Amino acid sequence: MLIPVHITGIGPISPFGIGKADHCKAIMTGLNPLDNCNVDDLYYPKIVGLVPDFNPKDYIMDKKSIRFMTRQVILGLCSSSLALQDAGITSEILEKDIDGTGVIFGAGIVQSIISSKDIFLNCLKEEGEIDYKKLGREGYRAMPPLWILPRLPNTTGGQISIQYGIKGINYSIVNGPSSGMIAIGEAYEAICNKRSSLVVSGGSEWDPAVDFIDRLKKDGFASDTENGSRPFSGQSDGFILAEGAASLILESEEKLYQRGGKSYGKILAYGNGYVPRFRNLDVKELAQQYCFFVRTTLERNSISLDSIDLVQATGCGIPVIDDAEIEVYSSLFGSKTLITTVNGSIGYPLAASGAISSAVAILEMEMGIAGIIGRTTSIAGKNQEQFVIHNPKKASIQRVLCTSFDYSGAMVCLVIEKKG
């Protein structure tokens, strides 16, 4: 019998705002931060979802360490601080079970080459190519001390561990846009398998530099225009990139009851799969893969299709994924099950997307409100009444299916049940 795993704290940071209150307000009002996105920087695209200004010193204990951190590390560390505070986890609680407390965190691109542009520009040959001999002989001397450390994908999880003295299991998930949701799922399994009793999990992302965006556009994944990304509309041309982070505190039921904490609910199921030859499949073929994956995950955990009240879908704006998702949800679920996605409102925060989606889903259960699919005014395909557009919907939400289907071929899902 599996050990019940509870979600006891959440710390969302996204273009919606900082923490639970900002995200609850955004869900209730149908906020669309992408309508006001703007970046005044030569090296970053103007179409990108940004987190509102905040002071990291309000959340990070070691203030001096901030100067060595990338934006991704700062976002992840601040979100973990919010989540631990929300769960009521103190340093005394962490110290009591040092070996049983861990960190499993999702990481993304880490940082573009653009942040080191001057070093590379100074090592160019006349024809414009990089002189790697000069770069190795002279260029590295221009790099600041500890230059590489903030750029390693495990730095965010490592810093969470260092800042809070967490000495149990610690590893990072680097698996594209699904990294954050995989991290939550792996934390769930670590507790189920008694490898840990409390895990800080989630994901963070920031690096929408032009070199990375250009590659995504060439591959047909990122949108070229401000209004081009409209999930599930049948007219979307890709996603708008965003920054963000979300942390979830997962605890065993025994640990939770021992310390007298609160619970948002339990994770009932975690599925992690992969679609071979993703780019060679059409919508119908991809939908078949997704449908089998979701159905199998639910059946394996004795969860009926009609018990799902809300799907917090991927809805990233990539046409083939959007259209395949529409087919899946229309065929698996009836009109009772509502469909939405937070990525239509805030943009697609890659490695943080699944973690933010999960945090938002928990808040939607708490409030009994399904947020809107931002920037989308009509749905392609059948059963349009399932999809939440125009206005948020009040509903009794007891179970949520969260999905992360991405352009690497990853298929990930979680089922979360509200605490009774």
Tens digit of pLDDT for each residue in 108-134?
A: 876 777 777 788 888 999 898 989 999
Q: Is residue 122 part of a domain?
A: no
Q: Is residue 123 part of a domain?
A: no
Q: Is residue 140 part of a domain?
A: no
Q: Are residues 62 and 189 in the same domain?
A: yes
Q: Are residues 392 and 339 in the same domain?
A: yes
Tens digit of pLDDT for each residue in 83-112?
A: 999 999 999 999 999 899 999 999 987 677
Residue that finishes a domain, picked among 238, 265, 292:
265
153 pLDDT band (50/70/90 cuts)? confident
Q: Is the model more confident about 198 or about 36?
A: 198
Q: Provide the whole-model pTM.
A: 0.95
Look at the chain and report how many structural domains it folds into: 2
* Phi–psi pair at 240, nearest 5 degrees: -100, 125
The DSSP call for residue 173 is E
**Residue 201 contacts residue 214 (beta carbons within 8 Å):** no
Tens digit of pLDDT for each residue in 16-40?
A: 999 999 999 999 999 999 876 666 6
**Residue 343 contacts residue 315 (beta carbons within 8 Å):** yes
CATH code of the domain containing 170: 3.40.47.10
Q: Are residues 317 and 366 in the same domain?
A: yes
Residue 42 has pLDDT above 70, yes or no: no
Which residue, among 204, 169, 172, 264, has the nearest Cα to 79 in the 3D structure?
204
Which residue, among 319, 365, 316, has the nearest Cα to 345 in the 3D structure?
316
Q: Are residues 241 and 386 in the same domain?
A: no
Q: Is residue 130 part of a domain?
A: no
Helix 71-87 × helix 19-29 angle, to 10°: 90
What is the distance between the alpha carbons of residues 405 and 413, in angstroms, rounded to a whole number?
A: 9
Residue for token pair 């631990």: 84
Residue that finishes a domain, picked among 224, 244, 265:
265
Q: Is residue 138 part of a domain?
A: no
Q: Is residue 127 part of a domain?
A: no
3-class SS at 387? strand
When computed from its CA atoms, the radius of gyration of the chain, rounded to whole angstroms, is: 21
Average pLDDT of the segment spanning 190-200: 97
Q: Are residues 304 and 320 in the same domain?
A: yes
Average pLDDT of the segment spanning 207-226: 84
Q: Are residues 213 and 288 in the same domain?
A: no
What are the residues whose beta carbons fall under 8 Å from the beta carbon of 188, sequence distance 6 or more? Answer: 5, 250, 267, 270, 414
Q: Are residues 362 and 306 in the same domain?
A: yes
Q: Is residue 124 part of a domain?
A: no
Residue that finishes a domain, picked among 265, 297, 316:
265
Q: Are residues 55 and 72 in the same domain?
A: yes
Q: Are residues 230 and 91 in the same domain?
A: yes
Residue 45 has pLDDT above 70, yes or no: no
pLDDT at residue 2 in the model: 75
Residue 192 has pLDDT above 70, yes or no: yes
Q: Are residues 330 and 219 in the same domain?
A: no
Residue 1 has pLDDT above 60, yes or no: no
Which residue, among 152, 7, 154, 24, has the nearest Cα to 89 in the 3D structure?
7
Average pLDDT of the segment spanning 311-332: 96
Which element (helix H / strand E) includes 321?
helix 319-332
Helix locations, 236-282, DSSP H? 253-259
pLDDT at residue 362 in the model: 98
Tens digit of pLDDT for each residue in 344-400?
A: 999 999 999 999 999 999 999 999 999 999 999 999 976 688 999 999 999 999 999
**Residue 196 contacts residue 100 (beta carbons within 8 Å):** yes
Q: Are residues 185 and 327 in the same domain?
A: no
Q: Is residue 128 part of a domain?
A: no
pLDDT at residue 350 in the model: 95
What is the distance between the alpha carbons of residues 22 and 45, in angstroms, rounded to a whole number?
A: 25
Average pLDDT of the segment spanning 401-416: 98
| Residue 380 CB-density burial (10 A; 0-12 exposed, 13-18 middle, 19+ buried) | middle
- pLDDT-above-70 percentage for the chain: 96
Q: What is the domain range of residue 343?
A: 269-418
pLDDT at residue 383 in the model: 66
Q: Are residues 41 and 85 in the same domain?
A: yes
* Counts of helices then strands in the chain (DSSP H, E): 13, 13
What is the distance between the alpha carbons of residues 336 and 175, in angstroms, rounded to a whole number?
A: 33
211 pLDDT band (50/70/90 cuts)? confident
* Mean model confidence pLDDT for the chain: 92
